[in-house]
């Protein structure tokens, strides 16, 4: 958290960030499209069991297809939990401190027990998370202003944004919700991935504490910004109650994206009317430049405008008349 200036950002927002996540500010809802719902005490009444969009009963692991129970199933259930905790874990001393301890999390299950994501499941999950209609699915009573996607769609070629997902992204963007996406972990050009290569998303790759790109992290023109994602053998400390281990130190752009989503939700707590376009511009404009102006010696392996700087983003948001 210190790498991105969180203590300074929290100090600028004392009326929003209180010990234990107690605040008079209405909570910003963040949807986590991932492996599903875990009732984490770190989120203490602020996590909602949303909807299970995994249509394939073989891959769902819960005996059926889509249903109203988004609970995570299997050994990968922790993934959605740790992403949510990075965004919003309470500051109560029980575990980690999340970026925005007042945010509400809606867990939307799109990944099967195998960790794979069907493109249509993801497209429908995107629409539902933002409060848009999906045929045959009940309306979302908790539409999100920020959507975190620490994932990419499987079962399709990695040659560009899938049309189904792009259509959903465009609809969500028009609804006024920001989509934050992990760039993926293949050390490749992120533009071939869905949704990392889609238009109107904020694609996030990983950066080390020194502001360089870890070997695993995807790169390229579709990447807008970098954030802490850990290095091989030295991950991001997080807490998880699901599955074995409890405390974990995973690495990957899956961990980088929720840092950005959490800061975006913090900005919306201070400036509720910021649009997705304004949020993307604010976060990228205030990023800390990479040492020497680049994250990687190879010119093509770019990582966006720099590393997330929460303090600078909050400071500029408070100084601006935008989003009041």
User: What tokens were used for 151?
Assistant: 């994932």
Q: Which of 52, 62, 79, 124 is catalytic?
A: 79
Take residue 304 and report the two structure tokens written for it: 């966006």
Q: Which of 240, 254, 265, 269 is catalytic?
A: 254
The reply to whether 254 belongs to the active site is yes
Task: Specify whether 79 is catalytic.
Answer: yes
pLDDT in tens, 172-185: 999 999 999 999 99
Helix crossing, 253-270 with 78-88: angle to 10°?
Answer: 40
Fold that domain 2-319 belongs to in CATH: Rossmann fold (3.40.50)
Catalytic site residue 124? no
List of the chain residues with pLDDT < 50 = 19-22, 234-235, 243-247
Check residue 245 and give its pLDDT: 45
pTM of the model: 0.94
Q: For residue range 243-299, what is the model confidence (pLDDT) as tens digits? A: 444 445 568 999 999 999 999 999 999 999 999 999 999 999 999 999 999 999 999
**CA nearest neighbour of 243 among 36, 45, 30:** 36
The structure tokens listed for 190 are 């992120």
């Amino acid at each position: 958290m210190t790498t991105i200036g969180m203590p300074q950002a929290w100090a600028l927002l004392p009326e929003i960030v209180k010990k234990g996540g107690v605040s008079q500010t209405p909570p910003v809802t963040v949807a986590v499209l991932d492996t599903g719902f875990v009732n984490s005490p770190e989120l203490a009444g602020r996590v909602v069991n949303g909807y299970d969009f995994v249509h394939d009963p073989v891959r769902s692991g819960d005996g059926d297809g889509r249903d109203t129970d988004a609970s995570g199933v299997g050994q990968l259930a922790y993934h959605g939990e740790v992403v949510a905790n990075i965004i919003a874990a309470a500051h109560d001393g029980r575990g980690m401190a999340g970026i925005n301890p007042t945010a509400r999390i809606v867990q939307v299950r799109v990944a099967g027990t195998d960790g794979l994501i069907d493109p249509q499941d993801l497209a429908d999950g995107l629409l539902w998370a933002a409060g848009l209609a999906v045929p045959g699915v009940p309306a979302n009573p908790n539409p999100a202003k920020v959507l975190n996607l620490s994932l990419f769609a499987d079962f399709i070629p990695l040659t560009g944004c899938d049309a189904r997902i792009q259509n959903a992204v465009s609809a969500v963007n028009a609804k006024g919700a920001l989509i934050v996406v992990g760039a993926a972990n293949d050390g490749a050009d992120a533009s071939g991935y869905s949704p990392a290569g889609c238009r109107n998303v904020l694609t996030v790759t990983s950066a080390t504490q020194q502001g360089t790109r870890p070997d695993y992290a995807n790169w390229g023109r579709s990447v807008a910004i970098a954030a802490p994602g850990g290095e091989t053998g030295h991950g991001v400390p997080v807490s998880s109650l699901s599955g074995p281990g409890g405390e974990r130190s995973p690495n990957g752009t899956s961990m980088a994206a929720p840092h950005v989503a959490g800061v975006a939700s913090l900005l919306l707590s201070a400036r509720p009317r910021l649009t997705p376009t304004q949020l993307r511009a604010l976060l990228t404009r205030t990023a800390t430049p990479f040492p020497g102006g680049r994250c990687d010696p190879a010119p093509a392996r770019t990582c966006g405008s720099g590393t997330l700087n929460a303090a600078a983003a909050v400071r500029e948001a408070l100084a601006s008349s935008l989003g009041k």
